[in-house]
Amino acid sequence: MGRTYFGTDGIRGSVGDTPITPDFVLKLGWASGRVFAREAGGAGRCTVIIGKDTRVSGYMFESALEAGLVAAGINVKLLGPMPTPAVALMTRTQAAVAGIVISASHNPFYDNGIKFFSATGSKLPDAVEEAIEAELALDLATVRSRDIGKVLRVVDAAGRYIEFCKSTVPEGFNLRGMRIAVDCAHGATYHIAPAVFSELGADVVSMGVQPDGFNINAGVGSTDMAALSTLVRERGVDLGVAFDGDGDRVLFVDGAGELVDGDELIYLIARHRLASGRSDAGVVGTQMSNLGLELALRSEGLRFVRARVGDRYVKEMMEAEGWHLGGESSGHIICSDITTTGDGIVAALQVLRAIRDADIDLATLRAGMTKYPQTMINVDIKGRVNLDDHPQVSAAVGAVQAQLGGRGRVLLRPSGTEPKVRVMVEGDDAAQVQSLCCELAAEVERALA
């Protein structure tokens, strides 16, 4: 059975357009509640955790999910605005059958989405998502009044998560003497990340910490690093850390304001683990990971394998290989020996450990990896598309690969979260890469128009 609503990271779209509507989300809560209760074997009343980011529509969808879940006989615990990885953590520690996050991650405020965690704090298996979609096809029927679920708000969720984040570094580790700029994207980390770094001793300069429901990811955060880069240079701090709207991604800038992306951060963490005797045999990246990461890891004696784009596929590959580190160039980094999903704050602390232990600045530390020139262009499309149905696209890809002559890569990938096809070209000649990517993107746009 295929999936109509679920993409690579839950269900996402523009608020008010199907399926991101109050009536659909209410029924989604009911349908998922029925599935979760069935998966739990029907033993006792089940609990589901709900968290959200700071976009204004979160209030509406929180209420809708709550209504649907209790109508299915599920108890609900509300966390309020909390990072996605915090919801995964609380799902595990509260013995819930599932966790639900209301967020569109790095998208603008006018989008929203619903994503799920299993009882173990991992993304749902495909089979469970398909079961939820099957329930959505049924008529909603409320349980008997005596069986309706109850709702509780968890008032100390932020404090619990802050303490968890601090517990992921060794006892005695501190950031005293470091000046760090922290950009929270006016998102779910706004009341969490500055506290974590401050309580570990850093002198923190914060930005993106005044959410108003509409400014999430707007000119701030990991999807727009210019403001953080400027702040780092103007304030003369040691480095900058930027999160996305729901806090599962992180990027850095060094003291000169230069971007340090997810591939480079993965390399720094992997090398630190290797030096401290905590390394596995390899690291998992994705089809989008820079070739420079693969070569740098190989030079350290580490293997590198590529999963499909999407953190769930990275996690699956990590489990298959028996490795504990993987991630994406976007800054979605998973340290599975610490937590179950991508966590921006946890990953940031791992990078800061590497910097402190090396006793050099970030700009110097990152020099061990040389990135290959890579250009990506997003081509807007009207809906889902199967690129195999367009032979002219395949021909254009073949022509670009021929021009690269084995010195680079080409990747075309429909986004799992937005109506776009991502066109990526990578090689050793920056000018050629830029030119070929523009040509290929134009061809894709013509073919899919």
- Evaluate if residue 1 carries a pLDDT over 60: no
b or e along 103-125 (b: 16 or more beta carbons within 10 Å of the residue's beta carbon)?
bbbbbebebbbbbbbbbebbbbe
185 with 86, same domain? no
pLDDT at 176: 97
Residue range 227-272, pLDDT digits in tens: 999 999 999 999 999 999 999 999 999 999 999 999 999 999 999 9
Question: What residue type is assigned to position 250 of the chain?
Answer: V
Is residue 204 classed as helix, strand or coil in its secondary structure? strand
Least confident of 289-293, 301-305, 320-324: 289-293
381 with 333, same domain? no
CATH code at 400?
A: 3.30.310.50
* Count, residues in the chain: 449
Q: How far apart are CA 123 and CA 100, in angstroms?
A: 10
Q: How far apart are CA 156 and CA 146, in angstroms?
A: 29
233 with 327, same domain? yes
CA 447, 395, 314, 345 dihedral sign is: negative
Structure tokens at 298: 């190989």
CATH code at 17?
A: 3.40.120.10
Has residue 145 been placed in a domain?
Answer: yes
190 with 331, same domain? yes
b or e along 394-425 (b: 16 or more beta carbons within 10 Å of the residue's beta carbon)?
eebbeebeebbeeebbbbbbbebbbbebbbbb
227 with 319, same domain? yes
Residue range 3-54, pLDDT digits in tens: 799 987 899 999 999 999 999 999 999 999 999 999 887 656 899 999 999 9
Which are the catalytic amino acids? 105
Has residue 56 been placed in a domain?
Answer: yes
> What percent of the chain clears pLDDT 70, i.e. is strictly above it?
98
Structural domain boundaries enclosing 55: 11-155
pLDDT at 16: 97
Question: The tokens 């517990």 sit on which residue?
Answer: 167
pLDDT at 43: 54
Is residue 310 classed as helix, strand or coil in its secondary structure? coil
128 with 249, same domain? no
pLDDT band at 226 (very low <50, low <70, confident <90, very high): very high
Report the interhelical angle of 157-167 vs 84-93 (nearest 10°): 90
Has residue 407 been placed in a domain?
Answer: yes
The count of structural domains within the chain is 3
Has residue 332 been placed in a domain?
Answer: yes
Q: Which residues pair with 180 in a beta bridge?
A: 204, 239
Q: Across residues 127-148, what is the average pLDDT? A: 96
Q: What is the mean pLDDT of the chain?
A: 95
- Evaluate if residue 89 carries a pLDDT over 60: yes
Which residues contact residue 303 at a Cβ distance below 8 angstroms, ignoring those fewer than 6 apart?
Answer: 281, 282, 283, 297
304 with 168, same domain? yes
Report the interhelical angle of 391-404 vs 430-448 (nearest 10°): 170
243 with 384, same domain? no
Q: How far apart are CA 28 and CA 290, in angstroms?
A: 38
Q: Across residues 52-80, what is the average pLDDT? A: 98
Has residue 1 been placed in a domain?
Answer: no
Residue range 151-169, pLDDT digits in tens: 999 999 999 999 999 999 9
pLDDT at 388: 84
pLDDT band at 135 (very low <50, low <70, confident <90, very high): very high
Query: From the DSSP assignment, how many helices (H) and strands (E) are in the chain?
Result: 14, 18
78 with 91, same domain? yes
Has residue 294 been placed in a domain?
Answer: yes
pLDDT at 310: 86
pLDDT at 407: 83
318, 340, 371: which is the final residue of a domain? 371
323, 349, 371: which is the final residue of a domain? 371
- Evaluate if residue 335 carries a pLDDT over 70: yes
Q: Across residues 415-423, what is the average pLDDT? A: 83
pLDDT band at 320 (very low <50, low <70, confident <90, very high): very high
129, 155, 181: which is the final residue of a domain? 155
Name the burial class of residue 234, with classes exposed (0-12), middle (13-18) and buried (19+) by CB atoms within 10 angstroms of its CB. exposed
117 with 37, same domain? yes
294 with 345, same domain? yes
Has residue 6 been placed in a domain?
Answer: no
307 with 175, same domain? yes
Residue among 308, 292, 312, 290 at smallest CA distance from 300 = 292
| 7 compared with 178, residue with greater pLDDT | 178
Residue range 355-396, pLDDT digits in tens: 999 999 999 999 999 999 999 999 998 877 888 888 899 999
Has residue 299 been placed in a domain?
Answer: yes
The model's pTM: 0.91
Residue range 208-221, pLDDT digits in tens: 999 999 999 999 99
Structure tokens at 243: 């999160």
Q: Residue 211's CB: how many other CB atoms inside 10 A?
A: 22
